[in-house]
Structure 1
């Protein structure tokens, strides 16, 4: 890869919002702004650390909601008398809720600011978690998961938009990597936490815990997070302007490519999340505790990729890191598929490529939104919504494919992961050839 110029520290905005070329002459201008405020007003020092911790804790509610109940999937199947594919639809439900909900929340966050949609979304998450805890059937549970997804969509959009309000370019990618260090603890700890809950209560207790977590998060957001979108930068909430904004985003070939790459890598990640509990427990015979341990160790691959990213950004452009990430992911996924199809290497040759696939996701996913949102900072909420919707809709569509192909081997899970990772590599090759600059 070709080395890029040294990037600015994460607390410094490195690109203006209106630049339409690769010219860097405005980078050091003292009046360059993010979200309409001077560069000097962006978080730095202790404020930067607090911003990372608070926003990271809020973003963690999403993976916590998804991952904590993974060890309970077989128990839910038995308790509600449901099929494996029907239970996997509960995972699809939350992903679709998060995806479609972001399309609604994005324009709203650009119109009324960030804090109100965030707090409303957390309140919906709490109510939906209680609803799931008392679900009498798999159909009702699926509806509850969709509602959870809608609530979490607000958290996902607003958090991403808040980052773009104050950072751009490599600084935004670095900030997102820092957030992933905080939120990355959720998928590491969540399955183990879910397994521990199952030792003392039923799967319904998992949703009670999620309601308690939501209560803590809405309190944190109310008192520790200030508004980042000034009134003068808010956009009118009307049907035609919203459609026009989405249309302009979809006409940006590079933006669409970044959206597809992000969505396909999310599909790779969520194919693992949706299929791993059945593959590792039912096929390879791991216990609930062993599954939680293996899931946590593999999640460290994601954390490693996301935390290596800021150091690599000092030498390489985010575009090059995206291409490196999807290449690593595709090669590892094809190796894992070969092992699953032939039986060669057994469980070790399934787990080793999995670690590198999650590493590739950790390397890719901070950079795709940073590049995409830098191109459209004037509509960060709407752009973040389209980006997030693609991630969760594509990810949600991948999960039931695994169940539809059967559960007798690891081939369905590994095949879907290999397809999505390989498609991400193809899209990156076609759309990220030149330098990515603001649109």
Structure 2
């Protein structure tokens, strides 16, 4: 079942009787990247304004950092349900509704007069933002299979990578020119534009006859089966740990840029642009390497590079060879490796449940978002001000990824023998 991506279960019964889909285009990737970028764009755009927000609302940087944590926690929890809701009513209406509610929550955040009020609006934003990442995965697997799906996820990742690079740069300049509240006005406008784009351009990918009723019994049964599925959960958790090793730099960007790199609020591009360029390189070369060496060699070769990046990053800093740009060399290498393997991991994880991909995508996105949430709420406060500690997080994440994907490989071998 899982031995080769070109022969995944997605080409089986769930596609029986359907016409062969056309190959995915650049336009498909651009639209899906715009949808999936909603969450990270909202997470990263206001990061350069943390100091300004803290001063304006009379609180601390740690207090403002937790507005990101509550956003991510809400994002993770809602990610568990939006896929199942879309399995019942379709992908398109859920995306449009969520982006419009997000826009309204952004207006609320813009007028927040206390940290507590900002927490509330960020929770509502997080609940809506998960829709983009979850349903873009589901749309891809509704319409394409195997290598086409992996290529489209890779191309989407290349375009998607522009969001975390552009977001803090745009946020820094907006904060300088118009203040932190204008950042949330910008997010409201951005989400309205995405809603209009989806309404006009996105074709509904889940036909009515393939939809699943949204009833508590079948829904809980589906989640129970997914959580009990050893290979799926190991793959989803491993995917999340791989992501944790790179996202800790986004979650800690305010600390890393302002303190470790000793730069200004409009210098976030010095961190994010190289990391995102590395992400784009990895997403570009991943499918090409997979075609030559196969998906399993790609995954474990990428994990080996991730482990080495963590070790060498710690060594570099402890040997006193740090400083910019040396301090981001091994994070960039880690980003190349993780971006090469994540599209393959994504497709393989969803293909364990070909008839409930919305639900599977929800659980997978929950794992990814909890990785981001743990980075923001737990790891960043622990590693603040020390570059080698960020590399230690990379190393630990890579080792956990290796352990979990060995479990997936073992389960896939057993499935192939049946």
The TM-score with structure 1 as length reference comes to: 0.87
Residue 147 of structure 1 and its aligned partner are, at CA, apart by: 1.3
Where do residues 116-127 of structure 1 align in structure 2 (5 Å cutoff)? Answer: 116-127=93-104
Residue 149 in structure 1 maps to residue 149 in structure 2: no
Partner of 2:190: 213
Partner of 1:135: 112
Matching residue within 83, 100, 115 for 2:77: 100
Partner of 2:270: 293
Where do residues 277-426 of structure 1 align in structure 2 (5 Å cutoff)? Answer: 277-405=254-382, 407-426=384-403
Residue 33 of structure 1 and its aligned partner are, at CA, apart by: 5.8
Report the Cα distance in structure 2 between the residues aligned to 1:248 and 1:75, rounded to whole angstroms. 46
Partner of 1:58: 35
Report the Cα distance in structure 2 between the residues aligned to 1:320 and 1:163, rounded to whole angstroms. 24
Give the secondary-structure state (helix, strand or coil) at the position aligned to 2:267.
Answer: helix
Report the Cα distance in structure 1 between the residues aligned to 2:124 and 2:296, rounded to whole angstroms. 35
Distance of aligned partners of 1:412 and 1:134 in 2 relative to their CA distance in 1, 3 Å threshold = farther
CA RMSD of aligned residues (A): 2.4
The TM-score with structure 2 as length reference comes to: 0.91
Residue 100 of structure 1 and its aligned partner are, at CA, apart by: 0.8
| Contact residue 306 and residue 334 of structure 2 kept, 8 A | yes
| Contact residue 52 and residue 179 of structure 1 kept, 8 A | yes
Greater mean deviation of Cα atoms: 237-246 or 265-274: 265-274
Partner of 2:247: 270
Matching residue within 4, 18, 33 for 1:38: 18
Report the Cα distance in structure 2 between the residues aligned to 1:192 and 1:37, rounded to whole angstroms. 48
Residue 370 of structure 1 and its aligned partner are, at CA, apart by: 0.6
What is the number of equivalent residue pairs in this alignment? 414
Where do residues 151-170 of structure 1 align in structure 2 (5 Å cutoff)? Answer: 151-170=128-147
| Contact residue 174 and residue 313 of structure 1 kept, 8 A | no
Give the secondary-structure state (helix, strand or coil) at the position aligned to 2:379.
Answer: helix
Unaligned 5+ runs, structure 1: 9-13, 20-31
Greater mean deviation of Cα atoms: 154-163 or 342-351: 342-351
Larger helix fraction of residues: 2
Residues 167-197 of structure 1: CA distance to partner in whole angstroms, max 9, x if unpaired? 2223211110011122111122222211221
Report the Cα distance in structure 1 between the residues aligned to 2:296 and 2:143, rounded to whole angstroms. 21
Report the Cα distance in structure 1 between the residues aligned to 2:61 and 2:319, rounded to whole angstroms. 24
| Contact residue 54 and residue 60 of structure 2 kept, 8 A | yes
Residue 404 of structure 1 and its aligned partner are, at CA, apart by: 3.6
